[in-house]
């Protein structure tokens, strides 16, 4: 049987270009799964390759390679995330760091950057925040709006990339970045957040890091903020709730605009 986007049986090691073309074609033909399903893209992909006669070891190699190839550009990341959200994609419970950071904080206007299917945006709306989120994956936003409607919550969603979203000025009381493909050590974002937040506004940031997180220069990057919480969480010590089965190191940061 010819399966999801794979037109010929391929048993030989594929080149990077073939792997990416094959993955794009596979992702275009994915049918969405019910929201709340656990992420199943890897299993579906391996199954499609197996049905096409690709040996297991080569299929696993191709999938692992996709995780490298997708990082080459934002456009590729979008293809990957659209496919991921059609396959269920990610946890549904709100981020624990966010819940802890908001203890006794008066709700206001919140922005969820790279919101995915909106677990944190919907949580914020349910606790009295006026919640807006953006993501580059239209599939993710569709799921988020569906989930919000089911929960009887109103959220605003915007299809945008970090690079082109209009963060504005004095707009937000909270910016959330949960595994949103920004890094706290990236000097580009703190000035954007500083401008976009109202005085006293918070940034709640949690993400995986490959290897040792770089804190050097962090206080310089986050100038204008008071650092309330900054943690380098060893793999296995704390839950990385996006990828609990993996042993990614995780950083958590909560800062307040002074
Ligand atoms: C690991 S998911 C996290 C989703 C959500 N924040 C959560 O915690 O459930 C990463 C999300 O970042 C989005 N993303 C990655 N790069 C992006 C970019 N450059 N601009 C906007 N969204 C991006 C992906 O589409 C995906 O929804």
Ligand 1 atom nearest to CA at 161:
20
User: pLDDT per residue over 62-98, tens digit each?
Assistant: 999 998 999 899 999 999 988 888 777 678 899 999 9
Cα-to-centroid distance, 21 and ligand 1 (Å): 22
Cα-to-centroid distance, 205 and ligand 1 (Å): 13
Cα-to-centroid distance, 187 and ligand 1 (Å): 19
Which of 124, 135, 155, 174 has most ligand 1 atoms within 8 Å of CB, for mutation? 135
50 with 168, same domain: the answer is no
pTM of the model: 0.87
Whose C-alpha lies nearest to ligand 1, atom 27?
116
End position of a domain, from candidates 42, 67, 86: 86
Whose C-alpha lies nearest to ligand 1, atom 13?
114
164: helix, strand or coil: coil
73-91 per-residue burial string, b: 16 or more CB within 10 A, e: under 16:
eeebbbbbbbbbbbbbbbb
Query: Domain range holding 46?
Result: 16-86
Which of 67, 83, 180, 203 has most ligand 1 atoms within 8 Å of CB, for mutation? 180
248 with 192, same domain: the answer is yes
Residue 34 banded pLDDT, cuts 50, 70, 90 = low
147 with 188, same domain: the answer is yes
186 with 65, same domain: the answer is no
Cα-to-centroid distance, 181 and ligand 1 (Å): 6
Whose C-alpha lies nearest to ligand 1, atom 16?
181
157 with 195, same domain: the answer is yes
105 with 164, same domain: the answer is yes
Q: Is 10 part of a structural domain of the chain? A: no
Q: Is 200 part of a structural domain of the chain? A: yes
Whole-number pLDDT of residue 15: 93
Cα dihedral value 75, 117, 95, 45, nearest 10: -60
Q: Count of domains in the chain?
A: 2
122 with 238, same domain: the answer is yes
- Quick one: DSSP state of residue 238? B
End-to-end CA distance of the chain: give it in Å, rounded. 61
User: pLDDT per residue over 151-209, tens digit each?
Assistant: 999 999 999 999 999 999 999 999 999 999 998 888 999 999 999 999 999 999 999 88
User: pLDDT per residue over 237-251, tens digit each?
Assistant: 566 777 766 667 888
Q: Is 151 part of a structural domain of the chain? A: yes
End position of a domain, from candidates 86, 112, 142: 86
What residues does ligand 1 touch, defined as CB less than 6 Å away? 74, 77, 81, 90, 114-116, 119, 135-137, 140, 161-162, 178-181, 242
Residue 4 banded pLDDT, cuts 50, 70, 90 = very low
Ligand 1 atom nearest to CA at 160:
21
pLDDT at residue 43 above 50? yes
Which residues fall within 8 angstroms of residue 184, CB to CB, at 6 or more apart? 205, 207, 213, 218, 221, 222, 251, 253
Cα-to-centroid distance, 137 and ligand 1 (Å): 8
End position of a domain, from candidates 31, 66, 86: 86
20 with 112, same domain: the answer is no
The answer to whether 59 and 12 are in contact (CB under 8 A) is no
Q: Are strands 109-113 and 197-209 parallel, antiparallel or unpaired?
A: unpaired
User: pLDDT per residue over 115-146, tens digit each?
Assistant: 999 999 999 999 999 999 999 999 899 989 99
Between CA 103 and CA 113 the distance in angstroms is 21
Cα-to-centroid distance, 6 and ligand 1 (Å): 27
């Amino acid at each position: 049987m010819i399966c999801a986007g794979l037109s010929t049986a391929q048993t030989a090691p594929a080149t990077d270009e073939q792997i990416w073309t094959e993955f794009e074609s596979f992702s275009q033909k994915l049918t969405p799964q019910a929201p709340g399903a656990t992420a199943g893209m890897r299993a579906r992909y391996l199954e499609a390759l197996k049905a096409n006669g690709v040996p297991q070891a080569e299929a696993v190699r191709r999938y692992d390679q996709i995780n490298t190839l997708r990082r080459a550009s934002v456009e590729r990341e979008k293809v990957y995330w659209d496919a991921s959200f059609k396959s269920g994609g990610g946890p549904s419970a709100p981020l624990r760091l966010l819940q802890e950071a908001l203890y006794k904080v008066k709700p206001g206007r919140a922005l969820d950057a790279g919101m995915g299917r909106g677990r944190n945006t919907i949580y914020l709306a349910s606790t009295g925040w006026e919640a807006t989120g953006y993501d580059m994956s239209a599939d993710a936003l569709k799921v988020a709006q569906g989930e919000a409607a089911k929960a009887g919550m109103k959220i605003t969603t915007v299809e945008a990339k970090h690079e082109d979203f209009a963060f504005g000025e004095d707009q937000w009381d909270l910016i959330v970045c949960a595994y949103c493909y920004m890094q706290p050590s990236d000097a580009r974002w703190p000035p954007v957040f500083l401008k976009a937040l109202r005085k006293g506004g918070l940034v709640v940031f949690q993400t995986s890091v490959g290897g040792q997180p770089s804190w050097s220069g962090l206080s310089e990057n986050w100038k204008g903020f008071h650092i309330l919480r900054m943690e380098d969480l060893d793999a296995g010590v704390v839950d990385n709730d996006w990828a609990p089965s993996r042993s990614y190191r995780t950083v958590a940061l909560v800062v307040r605009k002074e």
